[in-house]
Amino acid sequence: MKTGYLKIGICFSLLTGLLNTVSAQKKNDFGNPTLTHYLNDEKTRSISFSGYTEIWARYLELNPGSLVNGEQVNSISDLSLRRVRVKMAYQPTENFTFVLQGGLTNVNVASKTTPAFELLDAYAEYKFNDIIAAGAGRSTWRGLSRFTTGPLNTLLYDLPSYATGNAGISDETVRQLSIYAKGQIGQFDYRLVIADPYTNVSADPQYNLATFSKTHPNKDYSGYFKYEFFESENNSSPFHSGTYSGKKKVLALGAGFEYMHNALWHLDEAKTTINDDEKSFAIDLFYDTPINKERGTSFSAYAMAMNNNYGPNYVRYSGVSNPASGVNPADSSLNGAGNNSPVIGTGNTYYVQIGGTLPYFNKDKNNLQLQPAASVMLSDLDGLHDKALTYDAGVSLLMNGMSSRLTVDAQNRPIYALNNSGQADVSDRKWQFVLKYRIDFN
């Protein structure tokens, strides 16, 4: 493992040295030349490197009965590497691009073994023209909603939990092997994806409760379509920006879908196994605009409505970078261990977030500014008697734009237990406080 890391470090040192020999480059948020080496004078062919690291310091009120190293505790403070990413994009011709990305995810106190630097993305794309490009490989290219693909310049400390609700079940780190087509026709932007979902399930079907099936998975079909009223967004990568911090004026109305045939199963009254399709539909609206460019002020908002049908009473409880090692059944809730809470299920989910940037502390240098934000997620799921309400509020200190920022966030989540009628009601609520630092390189 150490030899592998050493080889990676040597390779990137040599490549960085090559890139540093190139002058007159485009500057990044730090005022330094970007890590891009152009292969021709027209600058239409290139090789570039980028990445980022997110470090979390966190205080968590844990779900009832949570165990950490076998000891039942009510709360915990921890440090974690939420994400580490290193990416290479190689464009040997004007039409062909190859992307390779690796990294670490959720390295915390529960990660007792040496974390593996894993391959995340490896895909190739051929661009016929602006109207259509096609690609294949392992990637986060997928449809459904704006944030389904994962994080890029999030307004809050992280993505809303519903966005990657199937993570770790039908995908690995929000990645699948897939083929896709994408393009822009005027102000209309689209993507269509056919993927091979993973199978990470070993449970048998249950009565009147849909769970993911352990049988051979069918294809995962998804798409996302949006109309951009003002400036166009870059579609060279699968990720959508959560905020432009006033650098662009964007109003994008989107709609998407996801469909997997026989993805789940359950038992009926006759103990017969019934297969269930996953059928999801979403609409969303994203708005980001400068208010005063000289002062650096801006406003950002996002709203989303999603309908999911996984089969009867399906609810997924999940928690990001969960520090718990188990749960005491005698004291547990429906949430399970650690920071698990309802993230997706059969029913409707609604999400709203707003935020923006305040004036620069020093407008002559155009750096150091605050970016407050807040969000609410409401899930009305068939498997829950009470609606699930999760809310966040936080503020970021932008030190070099979005490339170096410190974020403080407070989140409150619901805890569920069965009432006397056997229905899932909210029995308590728990807090999470996160201090995150993110630094990008490009």
Per-residue pLDDT of 118-149, as tens digits, reads 999 999 999 999 999 999 999 999 999 999 99
Per-residue pLDDT, 359: 94
Both structure tokens of 325: 């090692």
Q: Rounded to an integer, what distance in angstroms lies between the CA atom of residue 335 and that of residue 337?
A: 7
Both structure tokens of 378: 């409401």
Per-residue pLDDT, 13: 47
Q: Rounded to an integer, what distance in angstroms lies between the CA atom of residue 245 and that of residue 402?
A: 8
Compute how many other C-beta atoms are within 10 angstroms of the C-beta atom of residue 3: 7
In this prediction, the residues of the chain whose per-residue pLDDT falls under 70 are 1-25, 111-114
Q: Residue 436 pairs with which residues in a beta bridge?
A: 56, 407
Helix (H) / strand (E) element for 14: namely helix 2-20
Rg from Cα positions in the chain? 22
Scored b (16 or more CB within 10 A) or e, 243-275 reads bbbbbbebebebbbbbbbeebbbbeeeeeeebb
CA count, 13 A, side-chain hemisphere, 12 = 18
3-state secondary structure of 183: strand
Per-residue pLDDT, 2: 46
Both structure tokens of 431: 């807090």
Both structure tokens of 131: 């109207």
Per-residue pLDDT, 111: 67
Both structure tokens of 219: 């294809």
DSSP assignments along 306-324, one per residue: EEEE-STT-EEEE-TT---
Q: Rounded to an integer, what distance in angstroms lies between the CA atom of residue 149 and that of residue 141?
A: 6
Q: Rounded to an integer, what distance in angstroms lies between the CA atom of residue 221 and that of residue 196?
A: 9
Q: Rounded to an integer, what distance in angstroms lies between the CA atom of residue 34 and that of residue 50?
A: 9
The label of the residue with tokens 């092997």 reads 177
Measured CA angle at 431 (ends 428, 434), to 5 deg: 165
Structural contact between residues 407 and 434, judged by C-beta atoms closer than 8 angstroms: yes
Compute how many other C-beta atoms are within 10 angstroms of the C-beta atom of residue 414: 22
Structural contact between residues 196 and 222, judged by C-beta atoms closer than 8 angstroms: no
DSSP character at residue 26: P
Per-residue pLDDT of 333-372, as tens digits, reads 999 999 999 999 999 999 999 999 999 998 777 779 999 9
